[in-house]
Amino acid sequence: MPADAPALPGDSPDNPSDGQGDDRDGIELHLGSEPPADRRSRIQNQSQALQWLRDGKSFAWMSSEHERLYHITISHGTWSKLARKNGIVRNVNSDSSLIPWNVKPEHRAHHYYTMLRLERRRKAGKPLSEKDQTVLQYYKNARQADDQVIDYDPDSEQGFTHVPRRPGIDRGMIREPGQN
């Protein structure tokens, strides 16, 4: 070890460190950004998981099936990471008619955006929880009563807003882009 190298926990004059960490207690200190090479995924059959992703299986289905087969729970984030890492693009709801805008990340937590995503799922025949169905229906009824639709302005702080429905133009939940 170089004379100017910092001492690591567990170092003593009788047991100097090699600068890579102390593993006497089964604990390793890894310097740098790489995880240990022996770190394994909890996914038991990666080729099967990749096939599920290619087949368009939902993360919820994959988690349930993996737990049934291997008695190991896998989070949705882990499935998402596996898909990204392997270049598998998952566009569960590709219909852009309800969200025709490129929504900025800072606006994606907005309640109106959530309502549009729920409606898109509903129209695609995807399951919604009872709570989501109730919230969505209440929201749609309120907008119908107010005769308002959702508009998006990426340059505004809030992003989304309600605007008056234009008769004969705005037929759904959103202000139709490019229509004056």
Tell me how far apart the alpha carbons of residues 167 and 177 are, in angstroms, rounded to a whole number.
14
Tell me how far apart the alpha carbons of residues 29 and 36 are, in angstroms, rounded to a whole number.
10
Residue ranges covered by each domain of the chain:
1-36, 46-85, 94-180
Query: Cα 135 vs. chain centroid, distance in angstroms?
Result: 21
Query: Cα 164 vs. chain centroid, distance in angstroms?
Result: 32
pLDDT tens figures, 141-172: 999 999 999 999 999 999 999 999 999 999 89
Whole-number average pLDDT of the chain: 79
pLDDT value at 24 more than 50: no
- pLDDT the model gives residue 102: 86
Structure tokens at 144: 């119908």
Q: Say if CB 62 and CB 50 are below 8 A apart.
A: no
Least confident of 13-27, 31-45, 75-89, 104-118: 13-27
- pLDDT the model gives residue 38: 41
- The secondary structure of residue 15, as a DSSP letter, is B
The model's confidence at residue 175, banded by pLDDT at 50, 70 and 90, is very high
**CA separation, residue 84 to residues 9, 50, 54, 67, 76 (Å):** 37, 11, 12, 22, 12
- pLDDT the model gives residue 22: 43
Residue 151's CB is within 10 A of a number of other CB atoms, namely: 19
Of all residues in the chain, the percent with pLDDT exceeding 70 is: 73
Highest mean pLDDT among 52-61, 83-92, 154-163: 154-163
pLDDT value at 37 more than 70: no
Tell me how far apart the alpha carbons of residues 81 and 50 are, in angstroms, rounded to a whole number.
11
Tell me how far apart the alpha carbons of residues 88 and 122 are, in angstroms, rounded to a whole number.
24
The arithmetic mean of pLDDT across residues 31-59, rounded, is: 72
pLDDT value at 21 more than 60: no
Helix, strand, coil percentages (3-state) for the chain, rounded to 5, are: 35, 5, 55
The model's confidence at residue 100, banded by pLDDT at 50, 70 and 90, is confident
Helix (H, G, I), strand (E, B) or coil at 164: strand
Structure tokens at 31: 């310097």
Measured over the CA atoms of residue 109, residue 115, residue 116 and residue 121, the dihedral's sign is: positive
Tell me how far apart the alpha carbons of residues 150 and 104 are, in angstroms, rounded to a whole number.
16
Helix (H, G, I), strand (E, B) or coil at 149: strand
Q: What angle do CA 163, 141, 180 make, to 5 degrees?
A: 25
